[in-house]
Structure 1
């Protein structure tokens, strides 16, 4: 039974991964002990890239245009969900499929990085 408990603890949700990505790749100017409850466009793009959705399903132009609609520097979790709905509009992909891909991408840096030359 202990193994089952450990596996349950390792499972992430979209919201828990959101928190991890929101605090990943922070600028050196950011405060060391700051914990962010909101996410930057660069962090969203990183997450989409790790999920293999950026440059295949979504372009950086599309994510940037959708992000600009919020007129904010950072998006909270609810705004992030709205953002995801916006970028899925007019695409042949459902928001639930995007969420599955984001979950499968796992925490920042856990994906396999492929360098194309």
Structure 2
């Protein structure tokens, strides 16, 4: 039997969420800070890479939904609610949308390597 550890690991929605949370972050005074919540610009970048933006999802839609939360960064649970709203508003099955986002992979131009456990 083949060893499962020899097979390449695949990203999940939550592992990619962690990657996008730390993508294109402006350096701060705090070195090696790791974020576990996502900015609107990072969400939009992910949707663009997944070819879900600008059609059928628009920046206006993501902005309006994101602003309901009244905070700069959204945690994973809030992110899932945003995805559900976007899927519902655009007649997309949520499972299909999540799979497209997983298939999009890590951000283009990302210079970080994230180990998937």
State whether structure 2 residue 16 is matched by structure 1 residue 27: no
TM-score, length basis structure 2? 0.85
Segments of 5+ residues of structure 1 without an aligned counterpart are: 111-117
Aligned counterparts, 1:1-117, within 5 A: 1-2=2-3, 4-7=4-7, 9-29=8-28, 31-109=30-108
Segments of 5+ residues of structure 2 without an aligned counterpart are: 110-117
Q: What does the per-residue CA deviation read over 1:56-101, in whole Å, with 9 as the maximum and x for residues that have no partner?
A: 1100000000000111110000010011111122322111111000
Moved segments of 4+, more than 4 Å: none
Following the alignment from structure 2 to structure 1, what is the Cα–Cα distance between the partners of residues 72 and 52?
A: 22
Following the alignment from structure 1 to structure 2, what is the Cα–Cα distance between the partners of residues 32 and 55?
A: 34
Q: Secondary structure at the match of 1:10?
A: coil
Q: Secondary structure at the match of 1:71?
A: coil
Aligned residues: 108
> Could you tell me how far 1:30 is from its partner in structure 2?
6.2
Q: Secondary structure at the match of 1:70?
A: coil
Following the alignment from structure 2 to structure 1, what is the Cα–Cα distance between the partners of residues 6 and 56?
A: 34
Following the alignment from structure 1 to structure 2, what is the Cα–Cα distance between the partners of residues 54 and 12?
A: 21
TM-score, length basis structure 1? 0.85
> Could you tell me how far 1:28 is from its partner in structure 2?
2.9
Following the alignment from structure 1 to structure 2, what is the Cα–Cα distance between the partners of residues 42 and 54?
A: 12
